[in-house]
Every structure is written in C-alpha cells, then in structure tokens.
Amino acid sequence: MFEYAPAPESRDVVDIRPSYGLFINGEWADALGDAREKTINPASEEVLAEFAVASEADVDRAVSAARKAYDAVWGQMPGRERAKYLFRIARIIQERARELAVLESLDNGKPIRESRDVDLPLVAAHFFYYAGWADKLGYAGLGADPRPLGVAAQVIPWNFPLLMLAWKIAPALACGNTVVLKPAETTPLTALAFAEICRQADLPPGVVNIVTGAGETGQALVNHPDVNKVAFTGSTEVGRLIARSVAGSGKKLTLELGGKAANIVFDDAALDQAVEGIVNGIFFNQGHVCCAGSRLLVQESIEGELLDALKRRLSTLRMGDPLDKNTDIGAINSSAQLAKIKELSDAGESEGAARWSASCPIPEKGFWFPPTLFTGVAQSHRIAREEIFGPVLSVLTFRTPAEAVEKANNSPYGLSAGVWTEKGSRILWMADKLRAGVVWANTFNKFDPTSPFGGYKESGYGREGGRHGLEAYLDVRPM
C-alpha cells in the first residue's frame, strides 16, 4: 500500500492580524459601534481573527467615501488610466498568490490544491481580463459611449470568497464605478487582504471600500439610498428579499443565486471521464458551488456500470487537512452549513432514497461531511429539488434524450447543466433545450473570465463575466 505522507503547505506565508477594522476611503477605520465577530478555521475551529461589524452608520461612511471617489476621481478617469490600476492589482495578486491561497484555505476550509490551482489563477485572470476592457467599453456593443453607474453595493458569499470579490470588483472598476463590498461573515480574511492590495496598488482612496458584518450590514448596504447598483451572490431566499427592497428604487440589480444542476450522462459517454466530471461537478469545493452538478441524470441502461465506477472513484477521495497538498475534500465552511447538509441528507433517507457514503476517517475537530450519494431518488424528493450546497449527489435515471431534458428543466432553478456524450449533434440539441445559463459538454465546473455566467428562473438574473458582464455595471440607456 502506498500511503502519502502529510505534505502540508506552510502557514508561515500568511500574516493574520488578531483584529481587523473596516476599510473605508483607503484607510483602516474602527467601526462606530463595539460589535465584533470572530472568523474561525472550519477545519480546526481555531479562531483566526476578530473583525468589526459595520453598522448602518459605518455603511453610510463607506458609501459616502465611494461617492466622493466616484465624483472626484474614478468616474472621470480615462479608461486607459483605470486599466493601469487593474493590471497592477492583477499582477500583485499573482505575486501574492501563494499567500492568498493559504489564507483562503484557512478561512474557508477548501483544499489548498483548489485555492492554489483554481481560485487564485481565476482571480488574477478576472482582473487581467476586465483591465483589458476598461479603455474599450465603446466597442462592447453597448452603445458608443456607455457611462458608469456610480456606486456599486456588492454582497458576496463564502464559497469562493476572493473569486467572488474579483467577479464583482473587476468589472465594476473597469466600467468606472466605485465599490462598497461586504464579504461573508464566515470568510472575510481574503477580502481584507485585498484591501491591503488596493493600498499596495495605490488605488485612489474610496474607490474600493470593504465593510464586514453579517446580514444586517448587507441589508444596510443594499438599502442605502445613495447606491446605484446592487450585485448579490448567495441564496435565493436572500436574493428575493433584496429584489423586493430594491424594487422601484432605480438601482440596477444583478442576482446570482442557487442552483440544482443536472449532470446528464448518456450511454455513449466516455465513461471514465464522465466519472471524473461527476466527481468534479459535485465534490469540487465540498459541493459549496451554486452551479454544482448536484443531480446526476444517468441513462438507465448504464446506471449500474456508472455507479460502480463512481463509488470506486469516490473511495479514493482524500478528505482532511485543507492545507495538505494531497487533500481532495476539505472542511464544510460552518457548523450551520453542516447542519443544513445533515438535515437534507436525513430527509433524503426518510423519503426513501438509498444513501451511500465513501468511508473516510473524519477528523475530530472541525466540520466535515463525507462524499455521499443517494440512489433511487425521485423528482419529488427534497434532495432532488432543494439546493443542498454540500458534497451530496442525488442520482436519477432517464430513458430518452427528451426525458433527460424534461427532468433537467423540471426545477425552479436554472443555473447550469452538464451533458456527457460522444455524439456532437446531441450536445448541440441538448444545449438548445436546456434552460440553464451555462451548459457544459463533456466537462463540468470550468470557469473562464471571458465566459458569461448567470441563471434562468430562481437562479437569478444578469450575467457576470465576459463582455456580457460589462452591461451590469454600465448605464446603457440611450442618452
């Protein structure tokens, strides 16, 4: 037996302060109130740092700083000058990639292999990509001279803390807006490190402001009367509240919400690669992915063969220390999320689906859930309809391509889908019929800054990424 010895990435590259304030107008500022929260390492429950909880008054200070920076500096600045700052930020991110990857894994629980090989390269790529657009906005097909909106209020989730920040901040700044961003309360550290990067890049004060806190801070931010744009990524439930409160305010809104993606495997698929794609689709980032392929739709004629192969593969997944370079599955981000995953999994069992989990040792401390799949799942089961946001796969079967489409689309969500077949014509046919913002063919969970991302139905509206992502941050109404 070939056991891999522990190969932990060193923590020495990160410098976490015991306590953080708010980043307003290019400076670290204490919150006006005394409220503070702690962020922990979900793999060990160790407290990493304390951070300020921004009150309504703090949010107001941040929005004023952003407004001032927009009026005085950033909104006026020629695109080619804005681009220089964005390119500089992108390069600093690349230079500090190792540090940021370790910090992300510590705060979020995701394996270092993913933060190092997926998150950080994509973060830098987003800044590089949108830096390139900054002086070419007139050629984006959105009118000859599209104007920025003003101040953008951005609220991001905990599953890809720094990547979601990049998805939000890079296009906003490229288009000439200024930003107040609130990171998730369980994962604020990389956003706070990004504040330092803004200073390192000499970004004019107030262009980027970071306020930390939980739901109330977010609520104060999106409801602030002086913001022109609200961008939110997170749960459909919160998205709905935001849509309601923003309605009629004139604020432009983009929402990127939940999903329950179908990953559809036909009997002529390249089986071994389909298995890899299924694993990557649902167990990437512990399944904390809004576009995760959480419903496996497999053609009934190969169900047995595919499940055997899948179970064999799941048994080789390595769960444990997120900082170990050989870890495949890290920790669940919080005890609250773990409780939700457990609740839905138990519901799956009590509704009659069969549960199978890879047997892997579970560390004593921290929040863990083994890779799990459910067979015998029906469309009516909760685990086939509700977003679990964890490493849990529901397996359903279909008989014909039409039935696959029908089942895939039979969901309130419509963020992504996957199709596995060696037949090119069927891929195109399926992509035409699937009501999902992204359709992956013979791959899954692949991201690129040039490709627009967003949902149908309850998965949200607006697109992020690519040329389409610019529209969300520009005033494209005719003059």
Tell me which residues touch another protein (CB under 8 A).
1-7, 113, 117, 267-273, 276-277, 301, 305, 316, 325-326, 422, 442-443
CB-nearer residue toward another protein: 255 or 269:
269
Q: Which of 114, 256, 303, 464 does the annotation list as catalytic?
A: 256
Picking from 169, 171, 174, the residue whose alpha carbon sits closest to that of residue 134 is 174
Nearer to another protein, 113 or 407 (CB): 113
Of the pair 190, 421, the CB lying nearest another protein is at: 421
* Catalytic residue flag (residue 256): yes
Smallest gap from Cβ 281 to another protein, in A, equals 12
Calpha distance 50→65 (Å, rounded): 24
Q: Shortest gap between Cβ of 215 and another protein (angstroms)? A: 37
Q: How far is the CB of 267 from another protein (least distance, A)?
A: 7
CB of 434 to another protein, least distance (A): 20
Bin 376: left if φ > 0, else alpha if -120 < ψ < 50, else beta.
Answer: left
| Closer CB to another protein, 135 or 267, in the complex | 267
Q: How far is the CB of 302 from another protein (least distance, A)?
A: 8
CB of 279 to another protein, least distance (A): 10
Hey, what are 448's tokens? 């690129």
Decide whether 49 or 441 has the Cβ nearer to another protein: 441
Q: Quick one: 241 or 317, whose CB is closer to another protein?
A: 317
CB 50 within 8 A of CB 20: yes
What distance in Å separates the CA atoms of residue 361 and residue 185, rounded to the nearest whole number? 29
Are the CB atoms for 449 and 465 separated by under 8 Å? yes
Which positions are catalytic? 256
